[in-house]
A and B are shown apart, each in its own frame.
Chain A
Amino acid sequence: MSKARDAAQPAAQNTLRGTLGWLWTVLGPFLGLILITGLFAWMTRETGSFLTPYNWRTIAVQTVVVGTAALGMTVIMIAGAIDLSVGSTIALVTVVVAMLVKRLDPALPVGLRSAGLALMIAMGVGVVLGGLCGAVNGMLVAGLRVVPFIVTLGSYKVYRGLAKWLASSTTVYVPADAKAWWLSRILAPEPEPRWLMIAPGAWALLVLAVGLAIVLRYSLFGRHVYAVGSNEATARLCGVNVPKVKILVYALAGLATGLAGILQFIYMSATGDPTTADGLELKVIAAVVIGGGSLSGGEGSVVGTLIGCLIMSVLDNGCVHAGIPNPTQDIIIGVIIVAAVTLDRIRRGGA
């Protein structure tokens, strides 16, 4: 009887601590988000253009591409790896999707053309292509035993090169009649129907995030990802198939990147651009890190990443509304990245 109570008491305490710890890791970035929002609200108090529902719907749309890619990057960074090829993969996907639509659409019967079947097929191929790009990264990392930084530095160049080669280094436009009616709605700041509140693409991001959070927390695969990122030797000792986990992690992240590529394709109103999303990977990594992810692996959360992405978007958007010139904006973002990670370190050190 008393034994059970003795065991239960610290357990209850720990649950509380665990919850508080979790709250704090999410709350830290969240407080940052509120602080930045408040700051911009104050700076734009004369025009009042920043704190409007429309602007926040715009911010949501502006977050979608980075957010989707950042979900993939979160998994990779929890596994202790990195992916520098994200921007190039997105460019490659936009190019391939645009070219496919251009080829496929004229070949389809009229009824299917107006429904946008060519777009759907091409977008499906785009997601799979992203997964393939990721899987190749994963196989090289697991097979060659070269550090992820170098492997993906290579594929960063290769995928970009492929995109340019396929597109003959120019933008690939999709003919206007191949753009189905629904395409522009996916990322419309004012969604239809109105009760959706935010663009369908943003909803897709949220659903994806919830799914990923569940997988990371409850699935064996998720636990294996944390284990590999935290200590690869321990994972191997415990019978985790480390190469398989790495390949799966990259493939899964690649699917997310592929989806981000499609969203970018839509965002650019259905064009394939081999030079788009240049340097996006750094923005994505920054978002994950601001959200509590660690370059040494084993840490990071979906919620944190999403907040990190919002912080990045709010900064971009807010600076425009506050009339802060672009160079200053770069400096501010740079400072915030370092400050966020420093604060996180201090918090951990003090805990």
Chain B
Amino acid sequence: MLLEMRDVKKSFGATRALDGVSLTVAAGETRALIGENGAGKSTLMKILSGAIQPDSGSLWLDGQPFAPRGPREGRQKGVAMIYQELALAPDLTVEANIMLGQERTQLGFIRRRDHERAVARALEELDHPEIHARTKVRDLGLGASQVVEIARALVSRARVLVLDEPTSTLTQRDASRLFTLVDRLRERGMAIVYISHFLEETRRVAQTYTVLRDGRGVASGDLAGASERAIIAAMVGRELSELFPHAERVPGPALLELAGISGRPGAPATNLVVRRGEILGLAGLIGAGRTTLLRAIYGLDPVVSGTVRVAGRPDRSGSPRARIAQGVGFASEDRKGEGLALDLSIADNMTLSALERDSRLGFLNLSRRRRAVLALMESLRIKARGPGQKAASLSGGNQQKIALARLLHQQADVFLLDEPTRGIDVGSKAEIYAMIGRQAAQGRAVVMVSSYLPELLGVCDRIAVMSRGRLSDPRPTAEWTEHSIMEVATRGVG
């Protein structure tokens, strides 16, 4: 085995991120590492890269014990990481980026010849000679940038290559070129760990797989003999039907009506009616315009044309403040960057959109607010020391619950939820689905954007698919399958 990880454990505070994971990859093998967000994939890979150290367990590289104390040492010993967020300096050239940290020098001066030769050889080997060494990385597409990172790994004579969700931002064409490239590297004898959500894609590039869930390796083997169903069951840890408690709901009168809404000049207009007691799902690829639509409704992004009608009152574009007053609530997909102020307390985060509720004459009644927050924490089972704890110190699932509890606290009638369960553990997911269901049952209207199709199919009453800014007519969930949704999402709304 070129790479072996044995019984690796790692805890962060009270959270056990890895609970005894073992993993092996042979030279000339690509192993898919599969698991939901929060399953422990990133932690495992950070340990492999040397960015963090395990609490216990051991790593072996080519039969030698391998315990990198930092990413630098990991790289030197031949482990290269390609993260989702590329680690390139955009203002430097391709050549400078590839040679960064592994410059060939003489008396402190760079040996340009050597650099040019090494870069040319690497790009040649990767079958991307069209990438010019003098181009600034800023001017490259995402696919080409990724090749630059891989070239860097090649120049450093990496033997183990880790690719973390490499296709999530790539076009289809760039993705298929990447697969060919990965195959080529594998045939050269590299050991490759390929992290991905997409099962079809892993079948294309990998031969073996390991599924992580809640910090444990729960399944592994040859991909050829594994059924999709079995892999998903291992990922989720229970039958999907248990995860989505589906209740019969009776839709009431229309609550949110969009007439000819367009967020950009020239963008297609959207018409949509969401009723009380209804959960409407918005499916589509990343960048299709679902987030833009939600943000425009909420007044975070401009509305160029059309009207938004909440409970019968027409209003073209409102500020978030006006929307909150109308009973609209919004949960951002970017939990850490926008959804929460991480340095503030749970209580501040939960009540920021409706501080007036617990105040008089512009001054807060802190004990009343505290009671309201405690009640919400209990009903959503938020695990924390108390309302005063900083949001930053909580797990992703608990943070997300706080972001959603804010909508409950402001007594929103319309819930605009952008990827409400992204990157959180399965238990929290189930609780959030239950909460969304309860709100709909109480007559609230929910619009939910999600890139995780089983979730949309499990939770929503109706689903509409967005493709290149154009929204399909919503149809009852029973009339959709994952396949038909993807077809509309990729081929366009006809």
Contacts and interface: CB of A to CB of B under 8 A. Distances in A.
Interface of A: 7, 10-11, 13-15, 17-18, 218-221, 223-224, 226-227, 230-231, 233-241, 298-299
B362 A219 contact: yes
Interface stretch (B56-64, B163-171, B350-358): B350-358
B109 interface: no
3 nearest CB pairs, A to B: A14-B386, A239-B321, A231-B341
A214 to B, nearest CB: 8
B375 to A, nearest CB: 9
Interface in B377-402: 378, 385-389
B248 interface: no
B320 A227 contact: no
B297 to A, nearest CB: 13
Given A238-B352, A239-B353, A17 B385 contact: yes
Given A11-B374, A227-B344, A233 B364 contact: no
Nearest to B406: A238
Nearest to A13: B385
B360 to A, nearest CB: 10
Contacts of A18: 386, 388
Nearest to B339: A234
Given A11-B374, A227-B341, A231-B340, A237 B332 contact: yes
Contact of B343 (A220, A235, A237, A299): A299
Contacts of A220: 355-356, 359, 362-364
B67 interface: no
B366 A218 contact: yes
B342 interface: yes
25 contacts: A7-B374, A7-B378, A10-B386, A11-B374, A11-B386, A15-B388, A17-B388, A218-B364, A219-B363, A220-B356, A220-B359, A223-B348, A223-B352, A227-B341, A230-B341, A230-B343, A231-B343, A234-B341, A235-B352, A236-B320, A237-B330, A238-B320, A239-B321, A239-B323, A239-B324
Nearest to B356: A220
A240 B300 CA distance: 12
B141 interface: no
A290 B10 CA distance: 36
A219 B341 contact: no
A219 B364 contact: yes
B385 A234 contact: no
Interface in B312-370: 319-321, 323-325, 330, 332, 334, 337-344, 348-349, 352-353, 355-356, 359, 362-364, 366
B363 A227 contact: no
Interface string B26-55: 000000000000000000000000000000
Given A219-B363, A220-B362, A223-B364, 18 more contacts: A11-B387, A13-B385, A14-B388, A15-B388, A18-B386, A218-B364, A223-B355, A224-B355, A226-B344, A227-B348, A230-B341, A231-B344, A233-B338, A234-B339, A235-B341, A237-B353, A240-B321, A298-B343
Given A14-B386, A220-B363, A298 B344 contact: yes
A176 to B, nearest CB: 46
Nearest to B330: A237
Contacts of B352: 223, 227, 234-235, 238, 240
Contacts of B344: 226-227, 230-231, 298
Nearest to B355: A220
Given A7-B378, A218-B364, A227-B344, A237 B385 contact: no
A16 to B, nearest CB: 10
Contacts of A298: 341, 343-344
Q: Tell which of B355, B359, B362, B364 has the most Cβ of chain A within 10 Å.
A: B355
Interface residues of B, number: 37
A238 B319 CA distance: 10
A106 B352 CA distance: 54
Contacts of A230: 341-344
Nearest to A299: B343
Contacts of A224: 355
A318 B469 CA distance: 68
Contacts of B406: 238
A34 B203 CA distance: 67
A156 to B, nearest CB: 28
A142 to B, nearest CB: 15
A342 B363 CA distance: 35
A239 B406 CA distance: 12
Contacts of B339: 234, 237
A239 B385 CA distance: 28
Contacts of B374: 7, 11
B338 A237 contact: yes
Contact of B320 (A218, A239, A299): A239
Contacts of A17: 385-386, 388
Contacts of A234: 338-341, 349, 352
Contacts of B342: 230-231
A17 B344 CA distance: 15
Contacts of B330: 237
Nearest to A228: B341
A238 B330 CA distance: 9
A237 B320 contact: yes
Nearest to B323: A239
Nearest to A6: B378
Contacts of A238: 320, 324, 352-353, 406
- Of the candidates B332, B353, B386, B389, the one having the most CB atoms from chain A within 10 angstroms of its own CB is B386
Contacts of A14: 385-389
Nearest to B365: A218
B485 to A, nearest CB: 28
Interface string B292-325: 0000000010000000000000000001110111
A236 B343 contact: no
A263 to B, nearest CB: 28
A238 B403 CA distance: 10
Contacts of A239: 319-321, 323-325, 353
Nearest to B319: A239
B263 to A, nearest CB: 17
A221 B362 contact: yes
A18 B389 CA distance: 8
A219 B358 CA distance: 11
A10 B362 contact: no
B329 to A, nearest CB: 10
Of B319, B342, B343, B352, most buried by chain A (CB within 10 Å of CB) is B352
Contacts of B362: 219-221
A80 to B, nearest CB: 11
A346 to B, nearest CB: 17
A230 B374 CA distance: 23
A239 B324 CA distance: 7
Contacts of B338: 231, 233-234, 237
A43 B389 CA distance: 43
Contacts of B389: 14
A236 B298 CA distance: 11
Nearest to A222: B364
A217 to B, nearest CB: 8
Q: Which of B341, B348, B349, B355 has the most CB of A within 10 A?
A: B341
A233 B387 contact: no
Contacts of A13: 385-386
A298 B356 CA distance: 21
A298 B390 CA distance: 12
A299 B344 CA distance: 9
A231 B399 CA distance: 15
